[in-house]
Structure 1
């Protein structure tokens, strides 16, 4: 059985980009000290992690819009190896493990197992086989008495253009606003199942073996 939820194990309050916030010192007393001394302001534009954090916040804001359609959202789900599932979207259309790629000012084309940035040469780029969806399904089904299908969503932020020439089954690729396409999806989980999956997913104890 899953241990009871406690304030320490509840992932619901976690904000988008928690790991990046930690790396950048944007949490705890250290953030107040650095802000007071101007360190954060001096390095705000120089550190690419700030752009990545802005991308996570943008995706988090778009996912929050879906809650009015019966969806639940968690951010920065921590895994035992120190990585995170950027966002977990749970609703009538199933469960989606959402990751973000921040490519400021870039034009991106994905297709035939390759990614092309602007006018550069295509580089190998596989959309399927991402660990987030698999690990989420294993963790959630360990505590749910029903199948919990989990799909992958990859969101590109900051891009000027995104062209996707087909994706593997169970993988979706969007820009931020494209996430609205998930809102009307139904028929995978009942309302009761959505709440059960959410109750499991928000408990950090459920992810200890993921």
Structure 2
């Protein structure tokens, strides 16, 4: 009897478990909400039910799968090692922390990685709540050269590439493209966010809007264009607000603070559900990102 592999995933916006053969071919999936086991390979019925036994609640309904959409067909042929959907928020940083030895000489790199991980976990948990509003979320999307996109959102309002910044209860001052946290050194966070969105746009062949997610800020002070150097600033943001920062003709970057993510649920008018599913199927395939 072949040893089948059970991995978590999403099917039509619902949590499910995929059962695959050793070579990666899908044999079935189990929809936890409906209790339905959809068999792709009926000859492996007994093996599939044995693999799913620890996860079943009650007596499942077992039968052929519903007629799949083209996007679902693509997922059925996706090898588990190429599937980005199971990635946790901050997945790439877990590997980074494991590679840094715990010694007094490496305290600064470990502290930087831990704070970045905190930001991605906090914001990622909030972003995951959008799935009930028709959004699909991917975390730690790998890019060639060792980089990654912290979070990728695909939903009714389009595709958003989210970069995270941990503020640690300090004020954040923005003078596009620079972002200063407390008394730290300014960093071109908005430029980096735009660059990540551009790479995502190339990979997915669609428009991707950049977002800077700010976690744990005491406040955010955006500087009006042309006012930097004269001491002028724009209005300070309060919880629940969002600011669109622009630099000439460049793409605007949306600022999103933790606690504001729910506001994205009401946005729409860009992608239909079928388009969301199709783009999500493309984005969750690791091979999609090899060409950027």
RMSD: 2.7
What does 1:118-133 align with in structure 2 at a 5 Å threshold? 118=182, 120=183, 123=186, 125=188, 127-128=190-191, 130-133=194-197
The CA deviation at 1:128 is 4.6
What does 1:41-190 align with in structure 2 at a 5 Å threshold? 47-111=111-175, 113-118=177-182, 120=183, 123=186, 125=188, 127-128=190-191, 130-141=194-205, 148-164=206-222, 165=234, 166-168=244-246, 169-190=251-272
TM-score of the superposed pair, with normalisation by structure 2: 0.58
Aligned equivalents of 2:186 and 2:95: distance in 1?
31
Task: Return the match for 1:196 from 265, 278, 281.
Answer: 278
Cα deviation digits, residues 36-71 of structure 1 (max 9, x gap): xxx79xx7xx72321211110001011011111100
The CA deviation at 1:115 is 3.3
Q: Which runs of 5+ in 2 are unaligned?
A: 1-73, 223-233, 235-243
Residue 11 of structure 1 contacts residue 204 of structure 1 at CA under 8 Å; is this kept in 2?
Answer: yes
Count of aligned pairs between the two proteins: 187
Structure 1 position 206 matched with structure 2 position 288? yes
Aligned equivalents of 2:264 and 2:92: distance in 1?
26
Q: Which runs of 5+ in 1 are unaligned?
A: 27-33, 142-147
Structure 1 position 5 matched with structure 2 position 69? no
TM-score of the superposed pair, with normalisation by structure 1: 0.79
SS of residue paired to 1:127: helix
Q: Which runs of 4+ in 1 moved over 3 A?
A: 111-118, 120-126
Greater length-normalized contact order (CA 8 Å, ≥ 6 residues apart): 1
Which has more radius of gyration? 2
Cα deviation digits, residues 158-187 of structure 1 (max 9, x gap): 221122345024310121112222111111
